[in-house]
Amino acid sequence: MPSLPKIRNLFFSCCFLAMPFLSPVVRAESVMEIDTGNATSASWRFTQELSQLWQQKYPEKESVFIPNYIADLEQRFLRLEQGLSKFVIAPITSWTEQQAEDRPIRVLTPLWNVYLAAITGGEKIEQVSTKDQNTWYASENSSMISQYLERKKERLSNTTILLRTEELGDFARNLGDEVLFYEMSGPIKNLKKTWGAEFRLLSLHPDLQTEFQRAAPWLRYRVVKASAKKGVHTVGFTMGLFMNKMEDPKLAEEVQQLLKTLPGRYTPKPYLFRNLKALDMSLVPLSMRYVPLADW
């Protein structure tokens, strides 16, 4: 029978060997969800970048933002109302304005502009108009195109074919005289690089701009650089950061301050953060603007 000292030594040895497998005491992090588009969307990437900056600026809070994909916008606002998420990233539109009126939801800040890019691989077309007889192609996720199609319905003079996200790159690389519509932010050269394709950016004829705005009154006219010397005319909207107006005003203030005083140098330096429209509240209808509880 082993002696008592040997048993004691064996016991401590077993405990020592088992230590790496015991649950370690880790620093707890508070997770704050932001409901966004899918993992390829600008809103998803923005949330990841915002979380990095948040942790740099407020390390003592031991908290992070994480993107949460919710496809249905109404479901995003319902979750926000119920306190299941801290923020929602969504377009500032007449529909979301109605959501803000019906629920305790407001826009904390506008974020970035989105425009409708009409592109072609050929040389025949200079403008896209309502009289265009060519087949149009568009991303199935295009809110502007879906609004337009809903308004025009059977009165369209041409056919519009909706493409899945995974089809767009291959289609663009083989684009001829067809017109492809795509909603985007940033310079067109970024899209060319992403898809590995060459194409031209087209203007929308004034009559088509008007039709788009009739279909979706929240759209605004935009002039986008097609090259160093040329701008094209199109339509677009602004994305916003929505929050529950009953949320802690301190959180709202800290996020506003973070976006207002972005560090001059950090890695990465993405396009979205360099071109934020943050705190330009002229882009937000008065009824949708966030006001701290203390100012009611």
Same domain for 108 and 250, yes or no, is yes
> In the predicted model, is pLDDT for residue 223 greater than 70?
yes
pLDDT at 275: 61
Same domain for 123 and 46, yes or no, is no
Same domain for 89 and 192, yes or no, is no
pLDDT at 78: 94
For range 219-223, the mean pLDDT: 90
Same domain for 245 and 105, yes or no, is yes
C-alpha–C-alpha distance, residues 114 and 209, integer Å: 15
pLDDT at 186: 80
pLDDT at 274: 60
Q: Could you read off the pLDDT of 58-116 as tens digits, one per residue?
A: 999 999 999 999 988 889 999 999 999 999 999 888 778 888 788 899 999 988 889 99
Q: Could you read off the pLDDT of 10-50 as tens digits, one per residue?
A: 444 444 334 343 333 334 459 999 999 888 788 898 899 89
Domain count, the chain: 2
Return the C-alpha torsion angle 23, 28, 34, 37, nearest 10: -30
pLDDT at 34: 97
Domain finish residue from 236, 256, 274: 236
Same domain for 109 and 211, yes or no, is no
> In the predicted model, is pLDDT for residue 156 greater than 60?
no
Domain housing 153 = 114-236
Same domain for 147 and 209, yes or no, is yes
C-alpha–C-alpha distance, residues 65 and 52, integer Å: 8
| Range in 156-160, 180-184, 263-267 the model is least confident about | 263-267
Same domain for 213 and 124, yes or no, is yes
Same domain for 121 and 224, yes or no, is yes
Length of the chain: 296
> Which letter does DSSP use for residue 122 in this model?
S
pLDDT at 28: 44
At residue 153, the 3 state secondary structure works out as helix
C-alpha–C-alpha distance, residues 139 and 134, integer Å: 17
Same domain for 263 and 231, yes or no, is no
pLDDT at 153: 64
CB 177 within 8 A of CB 122: yes
* Residue 268 preceded by cis peptide, ω within 30: yes
Inter-CA distances, 291 with 84, 94, 272, 288, Å? 21, 20, 25, 9
Same domain for 221 and 122, yes or no, is yes
pLDDT at 291: 84
At residue 155, the 3 state secondary structure works out as helix
> In the predicted model, is pLDDT for residue 133 greater than 90?
no
Q: For residue 248, what is the domain's CATH number?
A: 3.40.190.10
Would the pTM count as exceeding 0.85? no
Confidence band (pLDDT; 50, 70, 90) for 144?
confident
For range 215-243, the mean pLDDT: 87
**Helix 206-215 × helix 143-152 angle, to 10°:** 90
Q: Is residue 134 part of a domain?
A: yes
For range 165-189, the mean pLDDT: 91
Q: Could you read off the pLDDT of 240-293 as tens digits, one per residue?
A: 999 999 999 999 999 988 887 765 544 444 555 666 666 678 878 888 888 876
For range 177-181, the mean pLDDT: 92
